[in-house]
Amino acid sequence: MTDTNRRLFLQAAVALPLGAVPAMASDRAASGNGDRLQRDPLRPCYHFHPRANWMNDPNGPIFWKGCYHLFYQYNPEAPVWGAPHWGHAVSSDMVHWSHRPVALAPTPGGPDQDGVFSGTAVVTDGRVSMMYTAVHRAPLDKATIKDAKPWPLRETQCLATARDDSLDVWDKRQSPVLASPPEGMLVNGFRDPSPWRYRGGWLAVLGSGRPGLGGAILLYRSDDLLNWEFVKLFAERAEDAALDPWEVWECPEFFPLGDRHVLIFSTARKAFWQSGHFDEQSLTFHPERSGILDYGDFYAPKTQLDADGNRILWGWVPETRSDAENRAAGWAGAMSLPRRLTMDSDGRLIQSYLPALSTLRSRQRVFGPVLPERLSLASGAAEIQIDVREARADFGIEIADRDGSPAIISIAWFKDRPELLWIDGRPLAVVPGAGDWAIRVFIDGSIVELSLDGRAMWTRRFYYQGPQRAPAIRTHGAAGNHMTMRTWDISTAVA
């Protein structure tokens, strides 16, 4: 559950009765307007999203018994944020998805009666459990979200366990397993638990913030997932850094990668990473490098291990439209494409798209070594790969929703500053080498995902201003360079 949308929802003062949601509520919600949704040129066809209505954060992704399960924040009632449930989908390859019944819904009278917020999947005693944040109304002195309207809310951490290997039906513990923040600590937010195995027991990080001090991440320890003790402040904003006094570091996760550990968290509408070394004796993380996971519209990421033990990253791609526009559309939000995480020798995070995405390709076109100045794509669902070798002259590449319109996203290189690539006019000193780059772009309805050698990622929302369904590519200065461009049409991947 993200802070931006939490505040929007709470300030709206909408009080809806939150009960159990019947199975496949998303199917029925979409049944009356399915044809209209399918015809919407803005709606993605291979980025995962529910059949209708609102989605946000990825929750508890897991590979279990030969199947990938993706859970996510979901409102089955409307295409705007509210009534947080956990939607559920399954896949054999993390690319082609089928919808399943709603996994978790608020329980009337329970600790999650006002919302099932974000959390993490773990395996214990041969069964899958979810540790998640539950929300209910509370007196001001007991609340962890004190500025909520029309009433303050208390966040607690709860546990649910799947009845069988399909992960369709869950049994919730009636009481929270972590009922309050550290004694004596005034917090601004207390949510998004992420536990992991540690020396026969468990450690977990939680997202939080301290009023006037900025975002923070709390570390807890448990022997059995049921009884937790506070260990320490695991991470916090530097004293000399600019801050929002009400800031919360949300959706934290901590995991090993290569010979280092990585911490990720989200705040200020961006998702951040830190890499460094973890002292297992003192339970202290020593960050050495840091960066942004995605420079565009990307938030609240969550990771999982795939069948081969690779670390896979998911993120929420939010809309930038108004609630009124989302209601008119009937849907809002999508999941990013899955990205494999690796680490280079200097501790910098590398993100690469899964090879399985190539199964969606059809009708390849190849251009080069001189690229056309204008190229209209045949479809609003496409993949583009541009390889630049030994650049010698200034060049620019733009993706626009049609010829003559402003760029959706732009890339530029200038020979007098060869160490930089410019994205939307902003310099990025992240690509090694002098003039050699691999640029990969995925276009899907209203989403563009762009990768620069996996070292910089940029996800962008755009909205056609007319009836067109396919964008255009424009190049400048390509004649002075050796460049190859391949394009593919991409097929639908969500059932």
Cβ contacts of 480 within 8 Å, gap of 6 or more: 392, 393, 394, 395
In which residue are the tokens 């996994």 written? Answer: 103
Cβ contacts of 60 within 8 Å, gap of 6 or more: 69, 71, 86, 119, 120, 121, 130, 132, 302
Q: Name the CA radius of gyration of the chain, rounded.
A: 23
- Residue 265 near residue 215, CB atoms below 8 Å: yes
Measured distance CA(65)–CA(249) in Å, rounded? 33
Q: What's at 289, amino acid-wise?
A: R
> Nearest 5°: CA angle at 415, between 411 and 421?
30
Measured distance CA(105)–CA(115) in Å, rounded? 8
Encoding tokens for residue 479? 């004649």
- Residue 191 near residue 205, CB atoms below 8 Å: no
- Residue 99 near residue 27, CB atoms below 8 Å: yes
* Sign, Cα dihedral of 410, 413, 419, 425: negative
125 is catalytic: no
Question: Catalytic pick from 3, 57, 112, 489?
Answer: 57
Measured distance CA(375)–CA(366) in Å, rounded? 12
Catalytic residue ranges: 57
